[in-house]
Amino acid sequence: MQKATSLLLLGSLFGALIYSVSASYNRKQTYDNQVVIRCSSISRVQYQTISTQPGVDIWAIKKDQIDVRVSRENMMWLRQLGVHCTMLHDSVEQLVQKFEQKLTVKQEWFEEYHKYDDIIKWYEELADQYSNIVTYYPTIGKSYEGRDMPAVHITGSTAPNTFKMYFQCQIHAREWISGAVCGYIVNYLLENYGNNEDVTKLLDSLEFIFIPFVNPDGYAYTWSNDRLWRKNRRPGTPCDGVDLNRNYDDHWSENGSSNNPCSETYHGTGPESEPETQNTANYFKNQNAIIGAIDWHSYGQLILRPYGWTSEDSPDEPRLKAIGDEMRDLIIDVHDEYYTSQKGIGLYPTTGTASDWFYSDNANLNNGDYRAAGITIELRDNGQSGFLLPPDQIIPNGEEIIPAVMYYANNLLENPLKMV
């Protein structure tokens, strides 16, 4: 009888926990009459027209192919534009509902997604637990709505001029896997320092900097209102939000961004007009000798190197290509997931992006003689779930990324890029 009562209480507690999670995720936006289509043989002119059109939400880009969320009415507009598309998901609302059903409490941290406040507490607790190698900065500045943007520094080195690796996460609100994988990398480094020779050696020679939230307001909004929100939360007329990954001071407002506030790629009123962009740019420039920088995104399984704004090769194109190709090969060795390594412009033009800015002269003026090898990584998947990647994908996605991160960091540590 006592055992049965205990099981009943345990079941009630588990049920309450599941209810708590579902109650904390309480979106108000619905997606009735919206679909995701895959359009192929897209010209750059067509892409520019589509990407800046209000009511059209580009989900992923691959060479000559894009995934687009539209209303059924807008599908007719695409046909009139001469674009050939096939159905990828015939109901966005059902896709979101399917994702919501998997938001239940699990025993392990990386078996579920977490809200902003809970993630902040998790990083604070890690910093206390691993205080010998972690320095936690509660904020590098406030977001538009006043949320903190913390920074996490990890190193075993005491040398004053230690090289640095800079990773920023969750710049696009709906890309939950980006923040989760950043946390996975942090946890891997901390758990393995002193226990794994390769990790220990790397952290004794290099400092990792993580910015867990570039877009904390947008991320919070995806939990409370609109799961598929992308931009920050600056109020606007007639539409809210700026695409922070079009707001950096690197070829700002050129092709691949929009001056329409209702576009998902709206670049804002000026370069670094947004507090979130200002905070990250200033923090980056105040760090000495950053040799590598990754802006983490989803989805599409891509490793993108400079440039996104021009087809011209960067000064370090051969080296960056070799690094990206090796990262791709290391990823596929883990779970047979294929990532494409290419220049950003190989997709379509993008301007004002974080990774191009990381590599730019502007970002590296105070970086000694070194240039940060800025790249963008688009994580899982290839469109089966898109931005609604189930939580059971967090761990395998993190596992396959770790060897690529270790290689990227070691390669640049041994031979950092120099300013030319």
Catalytic residues: 378
| Token reading at 186 | 């942090």
231 burial (CB, 10 Å; 0-12 / 13-18 / 19+) is buried
191-201 burial code (b ≥16 CB/10 A, e <16): ebbeeeeebbe
Answer for the pair 10, 18: CB distance below 8 angstroms, yes or no: no
- Answer whether the bond into residue 137 is a cis peptide, omega within 30°: no
For residues 214 and 224, give the distance between their C-alpha atoms in angstroms, rounded to a whole number: 18
Place of tokens 């370090």: 316
Nearest C-alpha neighbor of 395 from the set 180, 134, 95, 228: 180
DSSP letters spanning 14-39: HHHHHHHHHHH-------TTEEEEEE
Bridge partners, residue 387, by sequence: none
Maximal CA-CA distance, the chain? 77
